[in-house]
Amino acid sequence: MERAWFPIAFWVGALGIATALWMTLDGFYRLPGAADALRLDSAERLVATAPDPARLPVDGWQPVKLPDDWLHRGLQGTEVWYRARIDLNVPPNRLWAVLVPGINLAGAVFFNGELVGSSVRLEEPLPQDWNRPLMFSIPNGLIRSGGNVLHVRVLSYPSGHGFLAPVFLGPSELLLPSFESRQFLQVHLSRFITIATAFMSLFLGLIWWLKRSETVYGWLALTTLMWSAHSLKYHLSDIPVTSLQWAALLFVTAIGFCTAVIIFLHRFTGVSLPKMQRFVLGHAAVAVLVLTSLTLLETDLLYSAAQIFVSVALVLAGYNFVRMVVRIWNGRVLETYLVGAASLVVMVVGVRDWVLILGFMDRPSGQFTQYAIPLLLGVLGIVLVMRFVGALRASEQLTQTLENRVAAKTQELEANYTRLQELEREQTLAAERERLMRDMHDGVGGQLVSSLALLKAKGIEDTDLDATLSGALTDLRLMIDSLDPVDDDLNGVLGMLRDRMQRPMEAAGLKTLWQFERLPKFPDLGPDRVLQILRILQEALTNVLKHAHASQVVVGAVYDPERHRARLVVADDGRGMNGQHRGRGLRNMRTRAERLGAHLDLQSSDMGTRVTLELPYPSDGPGGVPVAGSGTAPA
Amino acid sequence: MQEEGPVPVMIVEDDPVTRDDWADKVRDDPGLRLAAVCAGFEEASTVLDVTDARVALIDLGLPDGDGTDLIRFAVARDPPIEVMVMTVFGDERHVVRAIEAGATGYLLKDADAPSVSKAIHDLLAGGSPISTAIARHLLRRFRVPEAAGETVEPAVSLTPREREVLDLVARGCSNAEIGDLLQLSFHTVNSHIKNIYRKLAVRSRSEAVFEAVQQGLIQIDRSFGRNGEG
């Protein structure tokens, strides 16, 4: 593992913080200082049932130290009275009050026999005041100089669970900060946590509802919901149902919380433990069934049974939790540390509360699981949201990739379609050309040939007619040649010219030198260009044949790489032209050259005539690189 | 196969004026003898069975049949007749179709008598006329399947030399120039071209068989072995 020191450093640091937390928690819940109030650490106790101190028996009071936890004393019963004597030299000149920071489960405070305050109710359903401070003002004039008596009536449900923390007596404004601090932490903050976890549960549940396959959200939603319900016990005093039913609800939500968290952890870490899962779910089902039955039977057996079920659920949850944290240890770094840190806090707090409940610490120190569990739930929620966002991002990327691919494919398809269309067009053209050729071959062409034969057969010596007919035939052939696909090869075009013209030139006794350099490919050399080139050169050669009285003609082609053009030349050694003959032919050649975008140059003297066609290549065409200059064919 | 005396020549042409003109062209050469003159497909196919002609000049566009079928008859006959196709334009479409059917040359219909007799004698000496357009077409025909990675029998694929010859023809070189460039005799160049024509004919036949088998028109029976060769 790279950076192996980091996890170790993390855990060392985390343990340090946990220890500090443990120490700090002791002073977390504020109590009044010695200078501010009287702290009653000892009192007298009497197990008795009475509505007010006046009806209490005089005998049987036993001295006890506060805090007094009935569980530790093996004290049975649902009602216990405490009394303490307070001697004051002079009555106070400001408003005094009594602060009861810890009582289980509800109670009332009497001063000098007068009721100064109590829980909202003192009968079933008993108010749940175990986690809230009670503070009552003592009316003016009630405190006397000399001996005063404070009575505290404590009601417990179920029997034997009562508890009373040291009671404080002092000026109201000096007790108030402690009261308000505890009130805020134990009641308001707890209420806020209940509401917040309920919303979180709702939010997670919504995600799960929208995306059922992601059960991990559903299980965390259920876990959070269970805790939200269970956390009511910290701040809801005036319960709407009987104490037994309320207790049953808290037990069931506790078991539900443990069960849901186990399944969630399995989903979260991606493990499959079917046996464990079955056992946990089965246990929960049995627990709910048994606890519900006991509640309906209204028997206190519920408490003993619930202790067992809750213990089992807690052990299972703890075991699975440790196992899962170990499992994701080498997984995603941030997740591991977040979940690990939150788990550590839960464990520290959980152990501390457990120690407290077992009686090794004073109960007024208070419990903290209520803050640690939401912390863990929040962290898990954040991790899930992180995963969710990660998945979202990944899917966005995937979509993007997919879109790109679709776009590429569409383009490809379009290109294919265009090519197909082009091919179809070419095929149509080819078919049309085929039809035309057949028609011309069997029609005009055959007729021209047979006309020529007819002239000969009839012994008519008309050179002009013969030349005209032959010219028409040659013209037709050039047209047909130009329709032949030439693969952008200018040399092929020149070859056609040679095929057609060599015979008449030889027949006229003209020595012809064909000097064609190998020319680069001419992009998009279509039939029209081919025909124009063929016609211009044919016209030049025909002129030589008819008018030049030459003995030799050179037909050449070279490529000029600097100007990126082909230079096609027809040069004879005849007597030059005197202008009048060739007017029309020359005009035609120039017009054709213009259509080609080429330049036609004509130089004539009595030493001969030279026609040059400068044919520029398309400037952006790819075929501009000449293949080789060595392909000159000798004459 | 060298025989003494003038070469017997047969002409198949539907246009009477052209037909007579060609008959005259053959008669003009004492080295040639006019063996038969036919005006149509029916007539020619009957004559082909009995004629002693060594060379047949055939027009493709006959009113009562396809000239290429006549070429196939003539080539398959025993002894086979050398066929030249008569064409107005010497265009690739006509000539290549004829070569595929088995012709080994072509003549332009308005060719003069000397060129006709020269072409016939060249043909018998083992040479064939060719043009730029036809050479280009042949190069294309022989290139496509081989480029596609098919293994082609040597009998129907071009040798590098043949390819060189075709390439030069396609660029407008005459046979004499090709001979100079490749250090070959004029006759060797000519016979290369004739060979190329033969390969095209064999190739087109095997392609036709392949197509037919593909389309289920022919059932190949192993026991018939090598019947179709030749």
Q: What is the pLDDT of residues A293-312, one digit of tens each?
A: 999 998 888 988 998 898 89
Chain B: residue nearest A491 by CA?
B171
Q: Where on the phi/psi map is residue B95: left (φ > 0), alpha (ψ -120 to 50), or beta?
A: alpha
Question: Closest to A441 (Cβ–Cβ): which among B94, B132, B170?
Answer: B94
At A555, is the pLDDT very low, low, confident or very high (cuts 50, 70, 90)?
Answer: very high
Q: Which of A166-175, A568-577, B32-41 has the weakest average pLDDT?
A: A568-577
Chain B: residue nearest A478 by CA?
B89
Q: What is the pLDDT of residue A584?
A: 67
At A331, is the pLDDT very low, low, confident or very high (cuts 50, 70, 90)?
Answer: low
User: A481, B18: Cβ pair inside 8 Å?
Assistant: no
In whole numbers, what is the pLDDT of chain A averaged over residues? 85
Q: Which residues pair with A155 in a beta bridge?
A: A79, A106
At A150, is the pLDDT very low, low, confident or very high (cuts 50, 70, 90)?
Answer: very high
Three-state DSSP class for residue B60: coil
Give the mean model confidence (pLDDT) for residues A594-617. 88
Three-state DSSP class for residue B91: coil
Percentage of chain A beyond pLDDT 90 is: 35
Predicted-complex ipTM score: 0.78
Q: With contact defined as beta carbons under 8 Å apart, do A342 and A376 qualify?
A: yes
The whole model's pTM is what? 0.54
At A626, is the pLDDT very low, low, confident or very high (cuts 50, 70, 90)?
Answer: very low
Q: With contact defined as beta carbons under 8 Å apart, do A101 and A133 qualify?
A: yes
End-to-end CA distance of chain A: 81
- Position A355 pLDDT exceeds 90: no
Whether residue A109 lies within 8 A of chain B, CB to CB, comes out as no
Question: Residue A291 carries which side chain, given as an amino acid letter?
Answer: L
- Judged on CB neighbours under 10 Å (0-12, 13-18, 19+), A542 is middle
CA–CA gap between residue A93 and residue A232 (Å, rounded): 40
CA–CA gap between residue A331 and residue A328 (Å, rounded): 5
Task: Tell which A residues from 460 to 479 touch B, by Cβ distance under 8 Å.
Answer: 470, 473, 476-477
- Position with higher pLDDT, A612 vs A580: A612
Which of A433, A438, A442, A512 would best serve as a mutation to test chain B binding (most B beta carbons within 10 A)? A442
Whether residue B61 lies within 8 A of chain A, CB to CB, comes out as yes
Q: With contact defined as beta carbons under 8 Å apart, do A377 and A224 qualify?
A: yes
Q: What is the pLDDT of residue A400?
A: 93
Q: Which of A35-49, A213-227, B62-76, B215-229 has the weakest average pLDDT?
A: B215-229
Task: Tell which A residues from 395 to 414 touch B, by Cβ distance under 8 Å.
Answer: none
User: B171, A446: Cβ pair inside 8 Å?
Assistant: no
Of A306, A350, A365, A330, the C-alpha closest to A24 is A365
- Position with higher pLDDT, A141 vs A153: A153
At A85, is the pLDDT very low, low, confident or very high (cuts 50, 70, 90)?
Answer: very high
> Which chain B residues are Cβ-neighbours of A633 within 8 angstroms?
168, 171-173, 177, 181
Chain A: residue nearest B181 by CA?
A633
- Position with higher pLDDT, A578 vs A430: A430
Which of A434, A439, A440, A450 would best serve as a mutation to test chain B binding (most B beta carbons within 10 A)? A450
- The shortest C-alpha distance from B153 to chain A (Å) reads 27
- Position A284 pLDDT exceeds 80: yes
Q: What is the pLDDT of residue A194?
A: 95
User: A633, B172: Cβ pair inside 8 Å?
Assistant: yes
CA–CA gap between residue B25 and residue B35 (Å, rounded): 13
Which of A440, A449, A452, A487 would best serve as a mutation to test chain B binding (most B beta carbons within 10 A)? A449
Q: What is the pLDDT of residue B230?
A: 35
User: B169, A495: Cβ pair inside 8 Å?
Assistant: yes
Of A187, A214, A318, the C-alpha closest to A261 is A318
- Position A254 pLDDT exceeds 50: yes
Give the mean model confidence (pLDDT) for residues A535-540. 89
10-residue mean pLDDT profile of chain B (230 residues): values are 75 90 90 90 89 90 87 86 87 83 86 87 83 80 57 68 86 84 84 84 72 60 43
Q: What is the pLDDT of residue B154?
A: 54
